[in-house]
Chain A
Amino acid sequence: DAGITQSPRHKVTETGTPVTLRCHQTENHRYMYWYRQDPGHGLRLIHYSYGVKDTDKGEVSDGYSVSRSKTEDFLLTLESATSSQTSVYFCAISDDSGSLYNEQFFGPGTRLTVL
């Protein structure tokens, strides 16, 4: 399995508070992604990164920001959490080399509940 960890694995917070989720990889992959998964919607891309300090928006980026200061870490921040951001968040990584070119490998997920 790809070396991807997410922290925290579970979090309960209150509306209006800031929340930061961390994704850490040991694979030295160039690309990193944040998805959210909600019933009836499958996984949807929030933001992704194509290198250190290089990020771009995905399908559902409103209310989220990201940062990548090191290859191995990709942070997802909810500046002021809302109940609509209650979801399971998955991080993924991929690389543009080798036999598994661009295949995405997912972390274990973070379950976030905003009360």
Chain B
Amino acid sequence: DAKTTQPPSMDCAEGRAANLPCNHSTISGNEYVYWYRQIHSQGPQYIIHGLKNNETNEMASLIITEDRKSSTLILPHATLRDTAVYYCIVRARYNNNDMRFGAGTRLTVKP
């Protein structure tokens, strides 16, 4: 079972920031938070990951609360091509066989 809880769906206006929440209240000290997304019928795509500090890359920002029990993925200027299912995953970094994909959040970016 996935160790995370995400809302099933969200909408966002094109050009606005999309903020996708994730709860992971049972996260342990050696577990990272990963985000992937899956655009319709394609393979999942890695977005970003973090341990306890906020992270930013060319795709998104990841904000992790101080107690690490929740996080938010931010797409700063959502486009129509960001419409996808977004998965929040918690796992230890060395643990190759523990990628537990839950149902994710279906983000729809609207014009």
Residues of A within 8 A of B (CB): 4, 31, 33, 40, 42-45, 48, 50, 56, 58, 88, 90, 92, 94, 96, 100-109
Nearest chain B CB to A104 CB, angstrom units:
6
Interface centre among A33, A103, A105 (most CB of B within 10 A): A103
Residues of B within 8 A of A (CB): 2, 34, 41-46, 49, 87, 93-94, 96-97, 99-104
**Interface of A: prevailing SS:** strand
Which residues on A sit within 8 Å (CB–CB) of B87? 42
Cβ contacts A to B, 14 pairs, < 8 Å? A4-B43, A33-B97, A42-B102, A42-B103, A43-B44, A45-B97, A50-B96, A92-B44, A102-B93, A102-B94, A103-B34, A103-B46, A106-B44, A108-B43
**Interface of B: prevailing SS:** loop
Q: How far is the CA of A113 from the CA of B46 in the complex (A)?
A: 27
Query: With A31-B96, A43-B99 as given contacts, are A90 and B104 in contact (CB-CB < 8 Å)?
Result: no
| Cβ 8 A contact of B45, one of A43, A44, A94, A106 | A106
Whether B104 pairs with A42 at a CB distance below 8 angstroms is yes
